[in-house]
Chain A
């Protein structure tokens, strides 16, 4: 008997525990378990441990929350950075649109002041040579452009059309040494020809020694060359030299338009822009 008990002690103990727990359960379920000797003891033993652990748990929870918040903030930061990038791109696009809008509005304003029949065109390329100052427009004879048309911008005279194809036009700029624009000094009405120079600044040629011309004088087109309409700003006088000999004065000019910054232009036909 003892040997049987010893051999099967684990099984017997297990069965006892299972049965005993069922007994406790039944008693507890029916409310007959009045006293629980183990529960309070266990609770009392665990209490200080659990109190200590709870402090750590609270700190860990705080850390966890902090980490969660940080992760949330990091995600928020990424999201905001993406948004800023998007908005920056959008802002750049809008600024560009605004700039184009402003230029076109100015062109439109200028167009209303110019004789009817003027056309707008975009600059699509610049000169391929050091020796020539020119650019190519996106419109040609098919669009109604003619050779010899004046090219102007809201800031002033730009050049004239010297070559044409069906869909493009070559413009010789006023900065080119081969160009010439008939101008008058706005203040004194003295005449001359503004031409580009490879050596330095453009010059105003053929100004008589007797003419009244000063530094800072504004030069406008005279309209007598049959190319530019009258009154278009060409530039201003930056330097005047009278030599002790010769018929003419030496006048250096600062042009009103920097051709390298032009993107859209207006074209005025010689017939309509004539004096």
Chain B
């Protein structure tokens, strides 16, 4: 229960940061994707049905705040969670640098998912070009954030005494 509350607060915080403070960073149009990092964390360290729903809702909230149509980011985040969860079942990822690499890859998964469903459902021209312009930098920034965010979340979990061993 406490952990769910923690994740709820963290989720709200991530949305709040991503919609306000993180725009202050001098990264041009790129906004560090804390929500993606959170989904990856859940996929790696806290794979539960609640985390699946959380990823979906986080993606949905991004849609609510940013996307022209609902479901775009919800799909991407759900897919990211699924991909990370499946990876974590195959490989042992408990190293901050490896987790950063996973976030980097997850960022690509998210971008490709967004482009694919965007092309399929929205028929937006030039989406590929726009995504490829920023995807590398966005993935890099997210990967750089990952170790710190993971460490904070682990610390929060350990404070609550609810650290789980990775699968």
Q: Size range of the interface on B?
A: 35 or more
- The chain B residues found within 8 Å of chain A, CB to CB, are 12, 15-16, 19-21, 23-24, 47-49, 51-53, 55-57, 59-61, 63-65, 69-72, 74-75, 78-79, 81-82, 85, 117, 121-122
Q: Is the interface of A mostly helix, strand, loop or mixed?
A: helix
CB-CB < 8 A to A15: which residues of B?
82
A residues 1-34 in Cβ contact with B at 8 Å:
9-11, 13-15, 17-18, 20-29, 33
Q: With contacts A50-B16, A57-B23, A57-B24 known, is A39 near B70, CB below 8 A?
A: yes
Q: Considering the chains assembled together, what is the distance between the CA atoms of A15 and B85 in angstroms?
A: 12
How far apart are B29's CB and chain A's nearest CB, in angstroms?
16
Q: Find the A residue at minimum CB distance from B54.
A: A17
Q: Find the B residue at minimum CB distance from A26.
A: B121
16 more contacts with CB within 8 A, not counting A25-B70, A49-B12, are A10-B48, A10-B52, A14-B82, A15-B82, A17-B78, A22-B71, A22-B117, A25-B72, A38-B60, A38-B64, A42-B61, A46-B12, A49-B16, A50-B19, A53-B20, A57-B21
The reply to whether the CB of A71 lies closer than 8 angstroms to some CB of chain B is: no
> Which has the most chain A C-beta neighbours within 10 Å: B16, B21, B60?
B60
Q: With contacts A10-B48, A43-B64 known, is A17 near B16, CB below 8 A?
A: no
CB-CB < 8 A to B64: which residues of A?
36, 38-39, 42-43
Q: Size range of the interface on A?
A: 35 or more
How far apart are A182's CB and chain B's nearest CB, in angstroms?
85
